[in-house]
Structure 1
């Protein structure tokens, strides 16, 4: 299947395992440049660097740090056209009546605030790239928010995680779509 991604620069967050790692592999097979963001270990990405040295870049970044996210995007050699928001943490179950504010805040910061920081920088770069008007830049722009069944329904004890996934799948992404389309993007969300 040809996804028409030659010449596209894709950023995948949380790229060092699971869905993120598999997404990086699929993108690399389709031909775009890929920046694979990870927080702590790039060991799982090393075989791909050896196989795709000219199209894969690794970026270690703590997405909870606003200056780090800004530096990540500033260091990219070309603007990102496709942003895959895959990073997330699951800090374990706690009944809402027993959940601490620190637990709640940690999950929201890691899963939702970090998405805001990254997508804000993505939009700035996308807008600047479209303004330059080189080639087909912007025609294939997309935001992919990796959701979860937890965003629709979740067992007791995971209200924090469920709230972040629901926001990413629905309110946040759908609101983003309404503003981003003015720049030149298509927003995808997880199929229900």
Structure 2
């Protein structure tokens, strides 16, 4: 029994690669021996450098820009097919305006969040699958050599539990981790029988931004990552990244597709009211 990930030499595309979680995902795939293309709307001034890593600035809401990035990825890595794609890009909940009620939310905010998080993920997923299809159509022998053909969509606990005051974010994540993932899984397998599509729904992740929020409002740790969480702690970034490795690997997840993997420490609900009846 081969218990290695078997990812050596695979070309992996990671969107949102400059974010806190994105950078850890990039590191994980590099450690697994992959070639990695990191996409983000703005690459940091001094990004991580590695002989198997290429950075490209991309607006995922533009299909032509994403398609050009895929072509550049293949050129840079000598025509290799990007078989693994991790969709970690999007508007993060920490950086979206919060409202007491959806009644106060501008329609423009709702549209913008869905455009980036939902449409952007759709465009990325479409580009990944079209690249697989076109590559197989151009070279039928690839069917016998392609391995680890996997799309991994990073959703959120928000897509499961909702977010009072940020229905835009919750709706966008629910759409990609359920409707999009469940629809793409059978479609991908019709194009290439070993292609798989899954989603990860992390709970509150222990990012530097989450740590800042907890310092500013100490009750945030209890509300978001303790009171309804079996493990009584936030999720570590590397646990999300390692779940990506597992889902990318055909050795580990060859029969896993169309699934939403909750990486949330056993979170069973969300707090809405404190003891005095005030909204949380």
With structure 1 as the length reference, what TM-score do the two structures score?
Answer: 0.90
79-88 or 35-44: bigger deviation? 35-44
Are the aligned partners of 1:16 and 1:44 in contact in 2 as well (CA < 8 Å)?
A: no
2:98 alignment counterpart? 93
Distance 1:18 1:143 in 2: 20
Where 2:7 maps in the other structure, the secondary structure is coil
- 1:47-58 map, 5 Å: 49=49, 52-53=50-51, 55-58=52-55
60-69 or 4-13: bigger deviation? 60-69
2:184 alignment counterpart? 176
The reply on whether 1:61 has 2:61 as its aligned counterpart is no
Q: 2:136 aligns with which of 130, 137, 141?
A: 130
2:197 alignment counterpart? 187
1:27 alignment counterpart? 29
Distance 1:155 1:67 in 2: 32
Distance 1:141 1:105 in 2: 32
The reply on whether 1:119 has 2:160 as its aligned counterpart is no
Are the aligned partners of 1:21 and 1:45 in contact in 2 as well (CA < 8 Å)?
A: no
Structure 1 residue 44, shift from structure 2 partner: 6.0
Structure 1 residue 76, shift from structure 2 partner: 2.1
1:84 alignment counterpart? 86
CA shift digits 1:77-111 (9 cap, x unpaired): 23210010001103222221121121001000010
Structure 2 gaps of 5+ residues are 75-79, 201-260, 263-280
Where 1:42 maps in the other structure, the secondary structure is coil
Change (3 A) 1:44 1:172: farther
Number of aligned residue pairs: 186
Change (3 A) 1:42 1:11: same
